[in-house]
Amino acid sequence: MPTSRLRAAVLTAAVLLSSLVAGCSDDDSGDEDLTAQELHWKDCPAPSQAEGGGSAPSPLPDGDAWQCATMKAPLNWDDPKGDTLGIALIRAKASGDPGRRIGSLLFNFGGPGGSGVTTLPAFGEDYAALRTRYDLVSFDPRGVGRSDGVRCENDQQLDAYFQQDMTPDDAAERTTLLDNTKEFNAACEKNSEKVLPHVRTTDAARDMDLMRQVLGDAKMHYFGISYGTELGGVYAHLFPRTVGRAVFDAVVDPTQTSEQGALGQARGFQRALDNYAEDCTSKTEDCPVGDTPTDVKNRIARLLAQLDAQPLPGVFPRELTQSAATNGIAQALYSQDFWEYLTEGLEQAYDGDGRTLMLLSDSMNGRSENGEYSNLVPANITINCADDRARYSPAYVEGRLPAFRAASPLFGDFLAWGMVSCTDWAVPGAADHPDVSAPGSAPILVVGNTGDPATPYEGARKMVDALGAGVGVELTYKGQGHGAYDSKNQCVQAAVNGYLLDGKVPAAGTVCS
pLDDT digits (tens, 9 = 90+) for 415-429: 999 999 999 999 999
Catalytic residue among 192, 421, 482, 487: 482
CB-CB contact of 313 with 319 (8 Å): yes
Spatial separation of the C-alpha atoms in residues 153 and 191, rounded to whole Å:
8
Q: What is the pLDDT of residue 272?
A: 97
| Spatial CB neighbours of 444, under 8 Å, sequence gap ≥ 6 | 232, 236, 243, 246, 247, 248, 438, 467, 471, 472, 473
Q: Is the peptide bond before 57 cis (omega within 30 degrees of 0)?
A: no
pLDDT tens for 291-331 read: 999 999 999 999 999 999 999 999 999 999 999 999 999 99
Packing angle, helices 355-365 and 322-332, rounded to 10: 70
- Burial label for 511, CB within 10 Å (0-12, 13-18, 19+), is exposed
CB-CB contact of 56 with 46 (8 Å): yes
Q: What is the pLDDT of residue 14?
A: 40
Average pLDDT of the residues in 238-260: 97
Spatial separation of the C-alpha atoms in residues 441 and 236, rounded to whole Å:
7
Nearest one of 329, 269, 334 to 481, comparing CA atoms: 334
Instruction: Indicate whether 13 pLDDT > 80.
Output: no
pLDDT tens for 75-93 read: 999 999 999 999 999 999 9
Nearest one of 358, 338, 337 to 348, comparing CA atoms: 358
Task: Tell me, yes or no, if 226 is annotated catalytic.
Answer: yes
SS3 of residue 377 by DSSP? helix
Catalytic residue among 226, 323, 361, 363: 226
pLDDT tens for 204-247 read: 999 999 999 999 999 999 999 999 999 999 999 999 999 999 99
Instruction: Indicate whether 42 pLDDT > 90.
Output: yes
- Identify the band that residue 166 occupies on the pLDDT scale cut at 50, 70 and 90: very high
Instruction: Indicate whether 2 pLDDT > 50.
Output: no
Find the angle CA(494)-CA(468)-CA(435) to the nearest 5 degrees.
105
Spatial separation of the C-alpha atoms in residues 58 and 297, rounded to whole Å:
41
Spatial separation of the C-alpha atoms in residues 484 and 494, rounded to whole Å:
12
Q: What is the pLDDT of residue 470?
A: 95
- Identify the band that residue 198 occupies on the pLDDT scale cut at 50, 70 and 90: very high
- Burial label for 424, CB within 10 Å (0-12, 13-18, 19+), is middle
Give how far Cα 339 sits from Cα of 254, 269, 297, 324, 328, Å.
Answer: 29, 13, 14, 17, 11
| Spatial CB neighbours of 333, under 8 Å, sequence gap ≥ 6 | 269, 272, 273, 276, 339, 342, 453
Catalytic residue among 148, 362, 413, 452: 452
User: What is the C-alpha R_g of the chain?
Assistant: 22
Q: What is the mean pLDDT of the chain?
A: 93
Spatial separation of the C-alpha atoms in residues 222 and 224, rounded to whole Å:
6
Q: What is the pLDDT of residue 31?
A: 64
Instruction: Provide, for the chain, the percentages of residues in helix, strand and coil under a 3-state DSSP scheme, each rounded to the nearest 5.
Output: 45, 15, 40
- Identify the band that residue 284 occupies on the pLDDT scale cut at 50, 70 and 90: low
- Identify the band that residue 122 occupies on the pLDDT scale cut at 50, 70 and 90: very high
Spatial separation of the C-alpha atoms in residues 73 and 87, rounded to whole Å:
7
Spatial separation of the C-alpha atoms in residues 17 and 115, rounded to whole Å:
7
Nearest one of 93, 41, 43 to 71, comparing CA atoms: 41
Bridge-based pairing of strands 103-108 and 134-139 is parallel
Q: What is the pLDDT of residue 112?
A: 96
